[in-house]
């Protein structure tokens, strides 16, 4: 306890406010430490309820995690337990090294004010057995947040650094290297995540899993340029998985993979007011990869996004039937994509702006037609899109490829004005779209 008390201290809130050792101080929070009041604007899902800012009045316990420890992990957990049910865990400016897995899935009515720089032990072999591991696409976490009514905020000061170059170099030397996700939720409900900078993740930046009513706002996600020999890999900005009522907004992302990806069973998700550079797009999927699995993505609205120098922009990717794949194992999953809208998008030199495929992952059209997807696509809208494309596919600016009109219905495209570098009329590849309404130049 004596050692612990030196690592988890409290802020001297009032000269007369003292508490027993290791219990934290009660009193009025400093104004700049109070959780920001974050709102989903201009759109929010129906009955959207992120964290209630019960500490807006400035009262509650504060538990400070001291910087400089050889492993901040146990002290973060202890601080969270101490300040659970109404307090704030505070990371003052300084460096925090997490060298052991941090399980924060017990949270209730608590804030995390991250003003310091958090990083993780550079030891791929150690983390192989120490992360929280999931079956879906080999996902694994250094740390994970779960519980109810939680605010996690950096106030423009906090940094979470994944030391990506170490991990990308390790992967270049050994392709089996297991790379954790930088930030993860598992069973987090009614929460806000705001005001943080995230840099160079080993794998994805964020995975929002098994969670609901999450508002993510005012984040900066940055992948630094890397040598060709050790490129950044799989640096998705946000992936949602088995989650509903999620809003991702008002953020800037520079990365090398999907800006946002809606993974299986993502419903009622809004993405708005983002700037993405160098990515693979705002992507539904990939879905239908695993035989016997049912994947749903429904009620998704993407609004007011700028995308620059990316491979794709508005993108839906579904696997064909398993028989169409080279190994006969990938693809063939069941489910649906329904009620997905891309609205008010600006393209700056992207390769392909509008992409829909049920022949994902190098499946040729002949095999895709012969073994169509089991996962149905229905009611997808692309509208109010403008800007420029790169020369890669000039004059083609998009492709809408269904594996069969029986499993792909009601695709709409309108008010789209894209200019390829050649100045020629923009064209689209369109396949198996019998009952769709497309105001575009299909060839």
Strand partners, 411: 380
Q: Number of C-alpha atoms within 13 angstroms, CB side, residue 429?
A: 13
Q: Are 247 and 44 in contact (CB under 8 A)?
A: yes
Is-cis flag, bond preceding 417, omega within 30?
Answer: no
The span from the CA of 402 to the CA of 425, in Å, is 23
Q: Are 288 and 255 in contact (CB under 8 A)?
A: no
Q: What is the DSSP letter of 64?
A: E
For residue 26, give the nearest of 54, 74, 57, 62 by alpha carbon. Answer: 62
Judging by beta carbons within 10 Å of its beta carbon (0-12, 13-18, 19+), is residue 136 exposed, middle or buried?
A: middle
For this structure, is 37 an active site residue? Answer: no
CB burial readout 350-369, b (16+ within 10 A) else e? bbbbbbbbbbbbebebebbb
Q: Are 90 and 67 in contact (CB under 8 A)?
A: no
The torsion angles phi and psi of 293, rounded to 5 degrees, stand at: -95, 145
Catalytic residue among 280, 344, 409, 417: 280
For residue 379, give the nearest of 436, 328, 333 by alpha carbon. Answer: 436
Strand partners, 437: 412
For residue 313, give the nearest of 341, 352, 277 by alpha carbon. Answer: 352
The span from the CA of 32 to the CA of 50, in Å, is 21
Q: Number of C-alpha atoms within 13 angstroms, CB side, residue 367?
A: 18
Q: Are 269 and 263 in contact (CB under 8 A)?
A: no
Q: Are 192 and 151 in contact (CB under 8 A)?
A: yes
How far does Cα 12 stand from its chain's mean position? 36
Q: Which residues are catalytic?
A: 280
């Amino acid at each position: 306890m004596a050692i612990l008390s030196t690592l988890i201290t409290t802020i001297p809130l009032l000269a007369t406010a003292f508490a027993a050792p290791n219990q934290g101080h009660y009193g009025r929070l400093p104004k700049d430490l109070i959780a920001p009041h974050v709102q989903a604007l201009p759109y929010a899902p129906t009955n959207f309820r992120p964290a209630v800012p019960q500490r807006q009045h400035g009262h509650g316990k504060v538990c400070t995690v001291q910087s400089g420890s050889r492993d901040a992990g146990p002290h973060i957990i202890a601080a969270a337990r101490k300040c659970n049910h109404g307090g704030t865990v505070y990371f003052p400016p300084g460096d925090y090294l997490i060298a052991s897995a941090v399980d924060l899935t017990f949270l209730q009515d608590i804030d995390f004010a991250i003003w310091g720089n958090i990083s993780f032990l550079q030891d791929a072999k150690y983390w192989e057995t120490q992360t929280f591991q999931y079956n879906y696409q080999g996902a694994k976490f250094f740390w994970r947040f779960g519980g109810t009514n939680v605010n996690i905020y950096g106030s423009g000061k906090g940094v979470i650094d994944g030391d990506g170059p170490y991990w990308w170099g390790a992967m270049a030397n050994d392709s089996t290297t297991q790379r954790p996700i930088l930030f993860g939720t598992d069973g987090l409900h009614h929460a806000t995540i705001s005001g943080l900078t995230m840099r160079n993740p080993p794998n994805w930046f964020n995975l929002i899993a098994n969670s609901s009513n999450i508002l993510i706002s005012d984040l900066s996600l940055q992948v630094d340029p890397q040598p060709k020999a050790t490129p950044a890999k799989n640096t998705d900005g946000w992936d949602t998985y088995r989650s509903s009522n999620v809003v991702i907004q008002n953020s800037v992302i520079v990365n090398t993979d999907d800006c946002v990806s809606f993974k299986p069973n993502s419903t009622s998700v809004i993405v708005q007011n983002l700037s993405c550079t160098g990515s693979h797009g705002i992507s539904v999927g990939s879905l239908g990869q695993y035989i016997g699995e049912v994947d749903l993505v429904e009620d998704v609205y993407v609004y007011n996004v700028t995308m620059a120098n990316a491979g794709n922009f508005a993108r839906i990717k579904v696997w064909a039937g398993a028989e169409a794949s080279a190994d006969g194992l990938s693809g063939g999953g069941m489910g649906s994509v329904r009620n997905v809208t891309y609205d008010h998008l600006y393209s700056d030199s992207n390769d392909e702006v509008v992409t829909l495929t049920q022949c994902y992952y190098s499946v040729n059209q002949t095999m895709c037609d012969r073994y169509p997807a089991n996962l149905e696509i229905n009611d997808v809208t692309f509208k109010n899109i403008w800007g420029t494309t790169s020369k890669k596919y000039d004059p083609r600016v998009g492709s809408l490829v269904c594996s069969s009109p029986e499993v792909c219905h009601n695709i709409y495209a309108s008010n789209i004005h894209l200019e390829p570098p050649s100045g020629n009329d923009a064209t689209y590849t369109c396949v198996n779209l019998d009952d769709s309404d497309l105001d575009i130049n299909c060839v």
